[in-house]
C-alpha cells in the first residue's frame, strides 16, 4: 500500500503509458480515492484513461478476467460501463517492477459523481440492477463472502477502545453500541437466499453523470455471488429516511423486471452487514497509529459518518412498509 510520501507520481504514469502502449504521457493527476484504491486520470497522445492502483486485496489475473467477463455481459444487456485496456503482455493488470503495486487501466468516462442520496440516480441504478438480475448468471464454484451476510463484532468493546484512545467519534459509537447489537442480530438471522452473480457495490458514488445526461456504472471489482433482493435492499438503504423515495425506487426496479423481495427489515440485511462491517473495519484503521496517516484520515471521516448514519430499526421497518404492494 502506498504511503502519503510515496504516492504514485508522473514517473508511474509514464511507466503505465508504456506498459499499456497508450502513447506519450501528456497529463497525470489524482481523480478519486476510496478505501480500496485510488484512480488517476492518465492523458496521453492517444486519449484519456482511468488508471487504478489497488491499496488492499489486489486481484490476480484470474479474478480480473472474471470481472471483465461479467462486466462485458452486463454491458451487452444494456448496463453502461467503461472497457478495460490490455497491457503489452495481454493481461488485465500490470504490476510495477519496483514497488509491486498492482494497476488496472480503463477507458476514461466523463461526468460528475452524483450525491450519495440522489433519488434519480437511485432510480436509474434500480433499473440497471434489474437488468443484471434478469441475467441470473450462475455463480459456479464462487462462494458468498461473509462480509455481505454476517456481522461478528463486539460493539461495546470497540466503543470502549475508542473512548480510551480519545478519538472524537467515540461518544457517538458508544451511544449506539446497543442498537448496533440489535441490528447485528437482524443481519445474522436472515437466510443467504439463492445467489446469482451481482455487482455488489451498486451506489450513487459508483456512477458518473455527464452533461448530456448519460450515466455510467463503475467499480465492478467487488462483483460476485449474492441474492438479488439483498443487493436491491442495499441500494434502498441509502434512502430509508424518505419513504416516498423508497417506494419510487422499488417501483422502478419492479417495472424494469426486478425480482420479488421480502417486505420486512430483512430486506436490508446485506446493506446493514456491509455498513456495519465497513464501520468496524474503518474504526480499527482509524485507531491504528501505525497505519498511513492518509488512510487514517479517510477512515476517521467514514467512521464519523457511519456511526451517525446507520439507520435505526424503526426506520428500517418504515422503509420496508413503503415497498409493500410493489413486490410480486
**What pLDDT is recorded for position 2?**
44
pLDDT in tens, 262-320: 999 999 999 999 999 999 999 999 999 998 898 899 999 999 999 999 999 999 999 99
Q: Are residues 279 and 185 in the same domain?
A: yes
Q: Are residues 67 and 156 in the same domain?
A: no
**What pLDDT is recorded for position 3?**
44
Residue 4's closest CA among 293, 288, 299, 302? 293
What's the domain range around 227?
A: 119-322
C-alpha cell at 29: 493527476
Q: Are residues 148 and 292 in the same domain?
A: yes
- Domain tally, the chain: 2
**What pLDDT is recorded for position 328?**
60
Instruction: Report the alpha-carbon distance of residue 100 to residue 327 in Å, rounded.
Output: 48
Helix/strand/coil for 163: helix
Q: Are residues 132 and 72 in the same domain?
A: no
Number of CB atoms found within 10 A of residue 154's CB: 13
Residue 112 lies in a domain: no
Instruction: Report the alpha-carbon distance of residue 309 to residue 12 in Å, rounded.
Output: 38
Residue 113 lies in a domain: no
Q: Which long-range contacts (CB under 8 A, 24 or more apart) does 280-287 make?
A: 280/151, 280/153, 280/158, 282/35, 282/306, 283/158, 283/162, 283/169, 283/173, 286/167, 286/169, 287/161, 287/162, 287/165, 287/167
Q: Are residues 145 and 26 in the same domain?
A: no
Q: Are residues 163 and 37 in the same domain?
A: no
Supply the pTM of this predicted model. 0.89
Residue 144's closest CA among 218, 75, 198? 198
CATH of the domain at 85: 3.30.200.20
pLDDT in tens, 101-153: 999 999 999 999 999 999 999 999 999 999 999 999 999 888 899 999 999 99
Q: Are residues 86 and 165 in the same domain?
A: no
CATH of the domain at 228: 3.90.1200.10
Residue 327 lies in a domain: no
Amino acid at each position: 500500500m502506498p504511503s502519503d510520501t510515496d504516492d504514485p507520481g508522473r514517473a508511474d504514469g509514464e511507466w503505465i503509458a508504456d506498459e499499456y502502449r497508450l502513447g506519450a504521457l501528456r497529463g497525470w493527476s489524482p481523480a478519486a480515492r476510496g478505501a480500496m484504491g485510488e484512480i488517476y486520470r492518465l492523458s496521453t497522445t492517444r486519449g484519456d484513461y482511468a488508471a487504478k492502483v489497488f491499496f488492499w486485496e489486489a486481484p490476480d489475473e484470474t479474478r480480473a478476467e472474471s470481472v471483465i467477463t461479467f462486466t462485458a455481459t452486463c454491458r451487452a444487456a444494456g448496463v453502461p460501463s467503461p472497457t478495460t485496456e490490455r497491457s503489452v503482455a495481454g493481461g488485465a493488470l500490470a504490476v510495477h517492477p519496483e514497488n509491486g503495486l498492482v494497476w488496472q487501466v480503463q477507458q476514461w468516462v466523463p461526468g460528475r459523481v452524483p450525491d450519495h442520496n440522489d433519488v434519480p440516480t437511485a432510480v436509474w441504478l434500480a433499473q440497471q440492477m434489474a437488468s443484471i438480475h434478469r441475467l441470473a448468471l450462475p455463480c459456479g464454484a464462487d462462494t458468498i463472502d461473509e462480509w455481505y451476510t454476517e456481522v461478528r463484532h463486539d460493539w461495546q468493546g470497540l466503543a470502549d477502545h475508542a473512548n480510551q484512545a480519545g478519538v472524537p467519534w467515540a461518544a457517538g459509537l458508544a451511544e449506539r453500541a446497543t442498537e448496533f447489537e440489535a441490528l447485528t442480530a437482524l443481519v445474522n438471522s436472515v437466510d443467504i437466499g439463492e445467489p446469482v452473480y451481482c455487482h455488489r457495490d451498486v451506489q450513487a458514488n459508483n456512477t458518473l453523470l455527464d452533461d448530456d445526461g448519460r450515466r455510467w456504472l463503475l467499480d465492478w471489482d467487488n462483483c460476485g455471488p449474492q441474492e438479488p433482493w439483498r443487493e436491491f435492499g442495499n441500494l434502498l438503504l441509502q434512502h430509508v429516511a424518505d419513504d416516498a423515495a423508497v417506494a419510487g425506487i422499488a417501483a422502478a426496479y419492479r417495472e424494469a423486471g426486478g425480482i420479488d423481495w421480502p417486505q420486512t427489515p430483512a430486506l436490508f440485511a446485506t446493506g446493514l452487514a456491509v455498513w456495519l462491517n465497513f464501520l468496524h473495519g474503518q474504526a480499527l484503521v482509524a485507531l491504528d497509529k501505525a497505519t498511513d496517516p492518509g488512510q487514517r484520515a479517510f477512515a476517521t471521516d467514514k467512521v464519523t459518518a457511519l456511526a451517525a448514519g446507520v439507520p435505526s430499526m424503526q426506520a428500517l421497518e418504515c422503509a420496508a412498509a413503503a415497498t409493500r404492494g410493489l413486490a410480486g
